[in-house]
């Protein structure tokens, strides 16, 4: 992996705290997913589908996976009645993926559970700090 000589190095404390935060959140998400007998990737897919109906190709891009991997992922969740495939109205060759009513219920339940698990972490911050953190994370993710 090469590094750009013009990039400012990330301070070690920031790098460590970002990594630890990521590990903590992933562990909470993984535990919640396991409690509902879904994988972390299936949980991510359901979170994406809460507010959009992407094509298979778009979903693959959101997840950073190959389309063939997404097809199997959707098959497994569709067998549980949580997602459905439909032919795109704008392009009859494309297939869109959406949550079923059961999928929406599970996604809402999981989101509430994850919020409850993350609350002790964010609860250590004042409302102003939470707002600032939201802005900073959004700025980092926009890069």
**DSSP string covering 72-122, please?**
HHHHHHHHTTSEEEEE-SS-TT-EEEEE-HHHHHHHHHHHHHHHHHHHHHH
- Asked if pLDDT for residue 126 goes beyond 90, the answer is yes
For the segment 75-102, the average pLDDT, to the nearest whole number, is 92
What would the pLDDT profile of 36-85 be if each residue is shown by its tens digit? 999 999 999 999 999 999 999 999 999 999 988 999 999 999 999 999 99
Confidence of residue 88 (pLDDT cuts 50, 70, 90): confident
Compute CA distances 67 → 43, 54, 56, whole Å. Answer: 17, 13, 7
SS3 1: coil
Q: Write down the mean pLDDT value for the chain.
A: 93
Residues 29 and 6: their CA atoms lie apart, in Å, by 35
pLDDT of residue 5: 66
pLDDT of residue 4: 64
DSSP element (H, E) containing 12: helix 12-35
Residues 59 and 49: their CA atoms lie apart, in Å, by 9
Nearest to 79 by CA among 57, 56, 103: 103
């Amino acid at each position: 992996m090469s590094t750009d000589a013009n990039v400012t190095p990330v301070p070690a404390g920031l790098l460590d705290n970002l990594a630890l935060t990521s590990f903590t959140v992933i562990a909470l998400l993984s535990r919640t997913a396991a409690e509902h007998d879904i994988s972390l990737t299936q949980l991510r897919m359901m979170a994406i589908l809460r507010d959009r109906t992407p094509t298979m190709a778009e979903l693959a891009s959101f997840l950073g996976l190959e389309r063939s991997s997404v097809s199997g992922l959707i098959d497994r969740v569709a067998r549980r009645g949580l997602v459905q495939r439909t032919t795109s109205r704008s392009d009859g060759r494309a297939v869109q993926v959406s949550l079923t009513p059961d999928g929406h219920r599970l996604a809402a339940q999981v989101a509430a559970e994850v919020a409850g698990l993350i609350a002790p972490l964010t609860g250590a911050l004042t409302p102003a700090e939470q707002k600032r953190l939201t802005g900073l994370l959004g700025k980092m993710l926009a890069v």
